[in-house]
Structure 1
Amino acid sequence: METTQTKDGGTRAFRVRSWLRREALPIVAMLLLLGTARASFANHYYVPSGSMQPTLAPGDRVVVDMSAYGLRVPFTRMVLLERDVPQRGDVAVFDSPGDGARLIKRVVAVAGDRVVLRNGRLTINGQPLAADAERGEGPEMFGARTAWLDLADGGGPDIPGVVVPAGKVLVLGDHRGDSLDGRYFGFVDADAIYGRAVAVYWRRGEGLGWQRL
């Protein structure tokens, strides 16, 4: 038995298709573009713990430059346009090699660096990073970047002396005595780092602001 569609039914179907073309498809396209932009250019990160204190506090919201180390095909490691590489002192976002959790830590050493960590204090290639090197006090200096440390819980596990392999970086938390970092899960692939944290834009008790990292 053949079925026929009434004039009213055909009109409704036409209206639905017309609405999809005019309204729904542009919305879907916009959402896809926004998702691509977040994956490729800029995103934000919610800090869940105190492992980066005092630089980052629990609850901080951080702007992340997703293109800092190259413009990539969204959700892949494929680089379309190379820009920079992770540098010592960068606060970077990446997935833990241990369990895949999204983390934010400081890049403290890059390929070829020899690293010694004693009592929470770094020496890179024989050069102590403490501002007061003789006393081993003050913040650590990564070129133009300054990293204030939290050593209230001690320095955590020492690193007696290792060389960072090619294609890798070493990441540590600024709260050296309370940070699950490279001392536990090892080196991180340099090309696995998603982006560089730029600034804290919201902090509990302070609200909106712009504190550069």
Structure 2
Amino acid sequence: MDSPADSGEIDAVESRFTEFCKNVLSLDESTFSQSVKLFRETKHLMLSNLSTVGSITAEEAERYWFSFVLYCVRRLSGRSSEDEHTESKDDGFTLCQILRLANLNLVDFFKELPQYLIKARAILDHMYGADWKSKLETKEMQANFVHLNLLSQYYKRTYRELFHANEDKQSALVSTTELVNDYQRFGWLLFLAVRGHAFSRFKDLVSCVNGLVSVLVILIIHVPTRFRKFNVCDDPRF
């Protein structure tokens, strides 16, 4: 049985979780109820874990736990097959939104997630069934993030090899610089749109690179020639 001090601590943590769900994330009632249910089932694990955290503070550990709970609810709470292939829902929150509002890093979140899943395994088995791991798709989400990070770096590097970027000295006018940035942003957003509609949910890296090259070709054709760093007639790449 919890001591009065423990009960007070539990109540305070739950109050902060409720505040985060309702006032920060603005969850609907159904999602909020599911989140509170999972939180209450696992909060004793969180409180026992706070005393053993290493390089992070107790306050950070609490925010990680809030995010773990919400991530599990987001992924496991009876989503339809159509919802599984979209990044957002009418309930209005995604993993990136959770982490941004909790002031947490995505890479660190995925590093800490396995420990949470080990501790909460029995509870997740009971609440969501034995197949919750396949529904959670943690490894696929991690691979997705790594791929997007690599693709973003490749795109930025290649774009700046082909076109004058904002830090280029030849971009003398602010309006011109903003226009160049708009082209760069447009290319990346176009790639994300193509990636979301033309490929499966978890895209292999080779297909994505091919899609990104296609977007760069579109930019080469349509971006005004004055922004190019190359001459089509003289460049050996063409």
Smaller-chain TM-score range?
under 0.3
- Bigger strand share: 1
TM (normalized to structure 1)? 0.26
Higher relative contact order (CA 8 A, sep 6+): 1
